[in-house]
Amino acid sequence: MPNLATWIRPKDTKWFRPIFRKHPDIKVWNAQKRSVRLEQMDGLLLTGGSDISPDFLRQKVVNPSLLDKQIDPERDRWEFAAVQEALSRGLPIFAICKGLQVFNVALGGTLKLDIKGHNLPEQRDRDIQPLRYARRASHRFSKVNSAHHQAIERLGDDLEVEAWSAHDGIVEQIHLQKYPFARAVQYHPERSRVYDSLFEDFFSRLKARKH
């Protein structure tokens, strides 16, 4: 049985439960609830959450008031260690929202610490933000449910952009080049079955490691 490492906030479990239910042959280890032995994991899922703690950023935070009040250094410590472990073993990685930002920073990138027009209430659960895609992007959705106030500024090493916000060019989808499978999205595919192909792609890579 493949083991999947993740950190999911209690308020987000309702979104992921139906997705995991479709794959009972995958064992999900939520580090928010219990200890996870990373060396025994077969894949890594990075999910949404609060802003990354300043200690983990690769840039100076000139105005700390821009950051969320509920930052979680314990989670950040675990996720950055998990990314390094996964990369060292070539594990499948799928990152969502904050997860995209963690992945980018872990690979040497930086963030725009506050952006406008991407965190409106109607953007959270409705697929209303149009994207433009790179020619080689393997997953394409005409509009997405993207809600965030931070975004990629400088890309991490060997990352390639697959999609941008159509109206202002904010990065919304990336993948790691020359790596078996590592994809990250700024939007929230767990909140709509429209995006099931992303999870199916990820889970198929995860299961393949056990065959």
Measured from the Cβ of residue 104, the count of other Cβ atoms closer than 10 Å reads: 27
The active-site residue out of 79, 162, 172, 190 is 190
The reply to whether 160 belongs to the active site is: no
CA dist 84 → 48, 88, 90 (Å): 19, 6, 10
Instruction: Give backbone dihedrals phi and psi of 129, rounded to 5 degrees, phi first.
Output: -95, 115
Q: From CA 15, how far away is CA 109, in angstroms rounded?
A: 28
Instruction: Tell me which of 79, 97, 162, 172 is the catalytic residue.
Output: 97
Which pair of tokens denotes residue 145? 């449910």
| Secondary structure, 3-state, 35-78 | CCCHHHCCEEEECCCCCCCHHHCCCCCCCHHHCCCCCCHHHHHH
**Helix (H), strand (E) at residue 205:** helix 196-208
Asked if 175 is an active-site residue, the reply is no
On whether the CB atoms of residues 12 and 47 are closer than 8 A, the answer is yes
Q: For residue 190, indicate whether it is catalytic.
A: yes
| Beta-ladder partners of 154 | 110
Rounded CA-CA distance 195/78 in Å is 27
Q: How many whole angstroms separate alpha carbon 13 and alpha carbon 142?
A: 26
Point out which residues pair with 131 in neighbouring strands: 165
Out of 118, 148, 175, 188, which one is annotated catalytic?
A: 188
Catalytically active residues, by annotation: 97, 188, 190
